[in-house]
């Protein structure tokens, strides 16, 4: 039927002699019509194409007994449900003339399903025969059964035409002719279509069953029940009231029925049957008889139950899945939604069913959702996409499948996955910018030459090793090892990998160029959900510069230790951050304190400063620490372990961080007690020497004066004749000689030697 859009097929269909309509299931929109149907209904194609069947052909609003649309709708719904043809029988359905008035018509409709390749209902063919003349007895006496009696539809036409004969002949002739024809046709129908016929004459309460009907009831072929009550007893108890009610309604009001009930046969079987009944009226319109068809639909019912069970299972599956699933009709209204849909969209299912998608979720209008849904409907191809729905703050993975009635949509909340993927992208970006090597390898095999294999390296690997990703992926990390790689470390790594345990070590590796470099290696196992190790993650940090610094530091420390041992100074290293002081061994040698008995803090120094000096010294050192200077020195007294005070010179150098805060202070204490004694003695000696120099000079000058005085006094004594002057000259000579002795003593003091005069023998 999808070929009706082709002009050739459309013209062929329109020219078909049958009175046919093609409608879509559920909406019952008219999509194609034959010219014969338009002529029979006095309509034009442009007036009905695109409309629903009941919009194009409504009931007469002024007719209180109008049941055309309801009966036809019931037949169409049975076709949708069972996917099998449905025969209505005779349907009173007036037609609206072009002038707007309704003209009474009787129709014999047959609704047939058209299935697609997937077995889904795609269209319904609505075929009718106008039997108004037959029902009203206006088409003559020339009706006869069709040639092909195996066709169920022809069987119905024969029954209708036999009614015309019955009206034209006498009651007896009509009855006999009808019975013979009915018996023949119903027997044929029962054999070929598992159908049976029946008739109830209301006046005589005579019941006639065909052999097919009797066979369905598991009764002899010639059996017919004596009364309606007896016939009703063949039904299961729970269905007897229903069948009795519809039969009585048909007998009283002429309302046909089509019901499905369950029988209870003498053999104990409980087949499901479909009972169709229509009323037969006389010329005055009074119901004279009820006749119809009877069909064993047990297999069909079982198939339907299996289909229903399959539908229930599918529904259970749809309800149990973690994805949201919903369907939309062609007007974008929700026709189904599973429980997860309500959870995902934060609406109850009752709030969604029958509602319009765009009205309920206006933020989707103009979004990727609308674009993809429209594309799926127009192209009839599945649309798969991911989109963000901002009102709910969620990311959705959507699969939209076009179906004959609209669209089926699977929606999965991937918000966490999207965040996880975003995190992975961030991790990948971060790893690519890391200075440390990140390498991921398989866990096995360990003992094979090519295993385990590298599956991931970051950019730092390429920068540091010189190997490209393509050169590293698939190869073993042992490509970075060489002759100078410590075998003991390699064995430690292998043992840790064998035990699937983490390990940290330092390894000497080789670059692609052969250049050596040191790495600090951290290897961590990765476990799956079953606690099985699947991969190893190795983080390698280039510590070549650090190893060189450590080597240089070790040399410096060795030198420092040698210097600290070789010097007599007391050396200290004061960590100002932790307030811990390190002393060298000279603390014991100089001041007598064992290092183990000293407090680790600064109190080990401050507590041993002389009480008279401590405030001054502590204040001065903290002024330097809290200031900007880097050098401090001070002289003070430091108390030895034996209680004696030592005079010391203390010097310190302040080490500051980048912000200028003092973090360390290294210095030395020099015991200058002995030196100070020597210096004091030197100063005294220097004083005496100065006095001696001064005394010698004075004595020398005085001695020169005394020489003059002594010489003059001697001359005056020897030459003086004056008795008065001679005594004075002698007194002067005596005083001069005494001054000479004093001068001699002063000169002896200046020479720092004792006076020891001795007689000197004269040698001539």
Q: What is the rounded average pLDDT of the residues 284-294? A: 88
Instruction: Please report, rounded to a whole number, the percentage of residues in the chain having pLDDT higher than 90.
Output: 21
Q: What is the rounded average pLDDT of the residues 378-400? A: 90
Please say if the pLDDT value at position 504 is more than 50: yes
Please say if the pLDDT value at position 329 is more than 90: yes
Give 699 or 142, the one with higher predicted confidence: 699
CA distance 372 to 351: 24
Confidence of residue 173 (pLDDT cuts 50, 70, 90): very low
pLDDT at residue 764, as a whole number: 44
CB neighbourhood size of 283 (10 A) = 9
Please say if the pLDDT value at position 389 is more than 60: yes
pLDDT at residue 151, as a whole number: 42
Which among 326-330, 349-353, 441-445, 471-475 has the top mean pLDDT?
326-330
Which among 548-562, 587-601, 632-646 has the top mean pLDDT?
632-646
Q: What is the rounded average pLDDT of the residues 191-205? A: 78
Q: Report residue 338 CA to chain centroid gap.
A: 23
pLDDT at residue 155, as a whole number: 43
CA distance 748 to 605: 52
User: Strand (E) positions, 615-689?
Assistant: 631-639, 645-656, 662-671
Q: What's the pTM? A: 0.35
CA distances in angstroms from 242 to 237, 245, 258, 266, listed in the order given? 10, 5, 11, 21
Confidence of residue 185 (pLDDT cuts 50, 70, 90): low
Q: What is the rounded average pLDDT of the residues 641-660? A: 90
Please say if the pLDDT value at position 142 is more than 80: no
730: its two tokens: 């002698």
673's CB contacts (< 8 A; 6+ apart) are 646, 647
pLDDT at residue 402, as a whole number: 92
SS3 at position 454? strand
198: its two tokens: 């029946």
Confidence of residue 140 (pLDDT cuts 50, 70, 90): very low
Q: What is the rounded average pLDDT of the residues 518-531? A: 84
DSSP character string of 358-414: HHH-GGGTTSHHHHHHHHHHHHTS-EEEEEEETTTTEEEEEEEEEETTEEEEEEEE-
Give 731 or 511, the one with higher predicted confidence: 511
- Looking at residue 204, what DSSP letter applies? T
Of 323, 318, 328, which Cα lies nearest the Cα of 356?
328
Please say if the pLDDT value at position 249 is more than 60: yes
Q: What is the rounded average pLDDT of the residues 28-36? A: 90
Instruction: Please report, rounded to a whole number, the percentage of residues in the chain having pLDDT higher than 70.
Output: 84
Residue 755 buriedness (CB in 10 A; 0-12 / 13-18 / 19+): exposed
Please say if the pLDDT value at position 229 is more than 70: yes
Of 243, 154, 151, 131, which Cα lies nearest the Cα of 198?
243
Q: Please, are residues 535 and 526 in contact by the beta-carbon 8 Å criterion?
A: yes
Strands 503-510 and 516-527: antiparallel
Helix 298-320 × helix 68-82 angle, to 10°: 70
Q: Measured between alpha carbons, how far apart are the two ends of the chain, in Å?
A: 175
Q: Report residue 634 CA to chain centroid gap.
A: 67
Tens of pLDDT, residues 57-74 = 998 888 887 888 888 888
Least confident of 34-43, 93-102, 624-633, 743-752: 743-752
Q: What is the rounded average pLDDT of the residues 311-335? A: 85
CA distance 52 to 50: 7
Helix then strand then coil, % of the chain, to nearest 5: 45, 25, 30
Helix 152-168 × helix 171-193 angle, to 10°: 170
Give 281 or 163, the one with higher predicted confidence: 281
Q: What is the rounded average pLDDT of the residues 153-167? A: 44
Give 372 or 205, the one with higher predicted confidence: 372
Least confident of 9-13, 189-193, 291-295, 745-749: 189-193
CA dihedral 484, 490, 492, 496 (to 10 degrees): 150
pLDDT at residue 235, as a whole number: 93
pLDDT at residue 74, as a whole number: 85
Q: Please, are residues 200 and 302 in contact by the beta-carbon 8 Å criterion?
A: no
Q: What is the rounded average pLDDT of the residues 688-693? A: 70
Please say if the pLDDT value at position 656 is more than 60: yes
Please say if the pLDDT value at position 519 is more than 50: yes
């Amino acid at each position: 039927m999808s070929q009706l859009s082709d002009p050739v097929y459309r013209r062929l269909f329109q020219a078909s002699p049958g009175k046919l309509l093609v409608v879509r299931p559920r909406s019952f929109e008219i999509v194609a019509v034959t010219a014969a149907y338009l002529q029979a209904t006095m309509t034009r194609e442009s007036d009905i194409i695109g409309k629903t069947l009941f919009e194009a052909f409504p009931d007469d609003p002024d007719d209180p007994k109008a049941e055309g649309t309801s009966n036809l709708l019931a037949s169409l719904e049975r076709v949708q449900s069972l996917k099998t043809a449905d025969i209505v029988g005779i349907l009173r359905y007036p037609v609206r003339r072009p002038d707007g008035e309704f003209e009474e018509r009787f129709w014999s409709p047959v609704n047939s399903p058209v299935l697609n390749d997937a077995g889904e209902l795609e269209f319904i063919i609505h075929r009718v025969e106008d039997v108004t003349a037959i029902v009203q007895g206006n088409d003559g006496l020339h009706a006869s059964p069709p040639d092909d009696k195996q066709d169920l539809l022809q069987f119905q036409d024969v029954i209708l035409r036999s009614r015309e004969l019955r009206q034209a002949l006498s009651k007896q002739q009509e009855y006999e002719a009808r019975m013979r024809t009915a018996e023949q046709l119903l027997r044929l129908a029962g054999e070929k279509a598992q159908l049976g016929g029946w008739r109830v004459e209301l006046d005589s309460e005579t019941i006639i069953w065909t052999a097919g009907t009797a066979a369905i009831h598991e009764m002899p072929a010639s059996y017919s029940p004596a009364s309606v009550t007896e016939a009703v007893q063949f039904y299961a108890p729970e269905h007897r009231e229903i069948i009795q009610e519809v039969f009585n309604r048909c007998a009283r009001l002429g309302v046909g029925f089509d019901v499905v009930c369950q029988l209870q046969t003498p053999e104990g079987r409980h087949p499901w049957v479909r009972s169709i009944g229509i009323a037969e009226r006389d010329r005055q319109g009074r119901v004279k008889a009820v006749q119809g068809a009877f069909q064993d639909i047990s297999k069909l019912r079982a198939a339907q139950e299996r289909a229903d069970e399959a539908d229930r299972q599918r529904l259970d599956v749809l309800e149990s899945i973690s994805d949201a699933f919903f369907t939309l009709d062609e007007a974008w209204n929700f026709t189904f939604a599973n429980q997860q849909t309500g959870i995902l969209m934060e609406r109850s299912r009752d709030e969604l069913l029958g509602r319009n998608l765009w009205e309920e979720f206006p933020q989707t209008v103009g979004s990727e959702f609308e674009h993809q849904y429209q594309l799926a409907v127009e192209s009839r191809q599945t649309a798969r996409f991911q989109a963000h729905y901002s009102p709910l703050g969620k990311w959705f993975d959507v699969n939209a499948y076009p179906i004959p009635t609209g669209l089926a949509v699977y929606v999965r909340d991937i918000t966490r996955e999207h965040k996880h993927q975003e995190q992975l992208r961030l991790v990948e970006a971060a790893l690519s910018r890391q200075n440390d090597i990140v390498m991921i390898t398989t866990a096995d095999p360990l003992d094979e030459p090519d295993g385990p294999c590298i599956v991931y390296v970051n950019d730092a690997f390429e920068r540091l090793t010189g190997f490209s990703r393509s050169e590293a992926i698939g190869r073993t990390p042992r490509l970075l090892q060489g002759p100078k790689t410590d075998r003991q470390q390699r064995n430690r790594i292998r043992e840790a990998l064998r035990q699937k345990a983490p390990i940290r070590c330092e390894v000497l590796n080789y670059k692609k160029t052969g250049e050596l470099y040191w790495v600090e290696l951290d290897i961590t196992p990765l476990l799956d959900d079953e606690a099985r190790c699947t991969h190893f993650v190795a983080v390698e940090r280039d510590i070549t510069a650090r190893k060189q610094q450590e080597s240089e530091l070790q040399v410096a420390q060795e030198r420092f230790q040698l210097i600290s041992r070789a010097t007599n100074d007391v050396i200290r290293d004061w960590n100002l951050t932790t307030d811990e002081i390190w002393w060298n061994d000279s603390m014991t040698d100089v001041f007598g304190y064992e290092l183990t008995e000293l407090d680790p803090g600064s109190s080990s120094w401050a507590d041993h400063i002389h009480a008279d000096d401590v405030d001054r010294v502590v204040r001065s050192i903290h002024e330097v620490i809290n200031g900007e200077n880097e050098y401090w020195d001070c002289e003070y007294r430091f108390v030895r372990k034996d209680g004696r005070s030592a005079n010391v010179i203390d010097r310190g150098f302040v080490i500051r961080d980048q912000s200028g805060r003092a973090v360390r202070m290294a210095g030395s204490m020099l015991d200058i007690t002995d030196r100070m004694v020597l210096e004091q003695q030197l100063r005294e000696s220097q004083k005496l020497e100065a006095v001696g120099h001064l005394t010698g000079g004075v004595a020398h000058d005085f001695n020169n004066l005394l020489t003059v005085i002594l010489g003059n006094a001697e001359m005056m004594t020897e030459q003086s004749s004056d008795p008065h002057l001679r005594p004075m000259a002698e007194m002067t000579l005596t005083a001069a000689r005494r001054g000479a002795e004093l001068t001699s003593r002063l000169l002896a003091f200046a020479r720092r030697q004792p006076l020891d005069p001795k007689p000197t023998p004269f040698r001539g």
